[in-house]
Structure 1
């Protein structure tokens, strides 16, 4: 029997007996590593633990691209702190006189009207979230004690006219 240079038995047509076709496609690494226990990750660590560090480790070093791309401005400071800045110093929620008795409630107001007592209810505006009392509207002719941080001149005059008192609270 005639043989070729590789020792393969050739047929009359000249083709090899096994007819193997070699492809130029490179085998993937995962396929190459099949059958090897460590699979390329060594004997001791065995591809465990934290190779890149825990959590946000390496944000300025080996994970910098990720931090710069997805979390810009995470590191560093900007500008100067103003130690004497009073934040929201103009925050001053206001309420008008015509809404003042709505804070007391309808039941309490009816009870006070029914009694005709000389006791004046105390309305603490700061407790209800208001700082300043403005003078729009009318008050019923009942004395009332109002605590607030600020009063407008009109509001103060109207409360005093009704026999009430304005108390400044800190």
Structure 2
């Protein structure tokens, strides 16, 4: 015989139960399906390899408001940069009595801070 180890399957050919026993017969789901029995018959495995798998941690927060403090802000000195230089020049040439309206929410800002100076032209 050569020194290459034979596989166990070769040895088991011709034996009826093929190493799986006469009673259980290698059938179905002997330990339950999936992760069944983590608290019972598979407890050793769960305790050893998955500590903390069971149980609650922390507190529940019902009605969680995500990013409720998210309010992007912009300063006064950057206000005209939203509109653009050519639009600003066009409004300066126009000399109308109406003040231009800049909708900050449309540009993604929700708060206007007071740093910097505005041009003499009023803005809403």
Task: Answer whether TM exceeds 0.5 for this pair.
Answer: yes
* Number of the residue aligned with 2:64: 85
Q: Distance in 2 between matches of 1:85 and 1:27?
A: 62
TM-score under structure 2 normalisation?
A: 0.57
Q: Distance in 2 between matches of 1:68 and 1:106?
A: 67
Higher relative contact order (CA 8 A, sep 6+): 2
Q: Distance in 2 between matches of 1:28 and 1:141?
A: 91
Q: Tell me which structure has the larger Cα radius of gyration.
A: 1
CA RMSD of aligned residues (A): 4.7
Q: Which has the higher strand share?
A: 1
2:21 to 36, 42, 54: 42
Matched, 1:24 2:6: no
**Structure 2 spans left out of the alignment, 5+ residues:** none
Structure 1 residues 35 and 95: CA distance shift in structure 2, 3 A: same
Look up the SS of the partner of 2:105 in the other structure. coil
1:127 to partner: Cα distance: 3.5
TM-score under structure 1 normalisation?
A: 0.46
Look up the SS of the partner of 2:102 in the other structure. strand
Look up the SS of the partner of 1:127 in the other structure. helix
Look up the SS of the partner of 2:107 in the other structure. coil
1:136 to partner: Cα distance: 1.3
Residues 81-106 of structure 1, C-alpha deviations (whole Å, 9 max, x = no match): 35587665654432110111112233
* Number of the residue aligned with 1:128: 107
Look up the SS of the partner of 1:123 in the other structure. coil
Q: How does 1:54-73 map to 2 (within 5 A)?
A: 56-61=35-40, 73=52
Look up the SS of the partner of 1:89 in the other structure. coil
Structure 1 residues 47 and 132: CA distance shift in structure 2, 3 A: same
Q: Distance in 1 between matches of 2:49 and 2:85?
A: 56
Look up the SS of the partner of 1:95 in the other structure. strand
**Structure 1 spans left out of the alignment, 5+ residues:** 1-22, 146-170
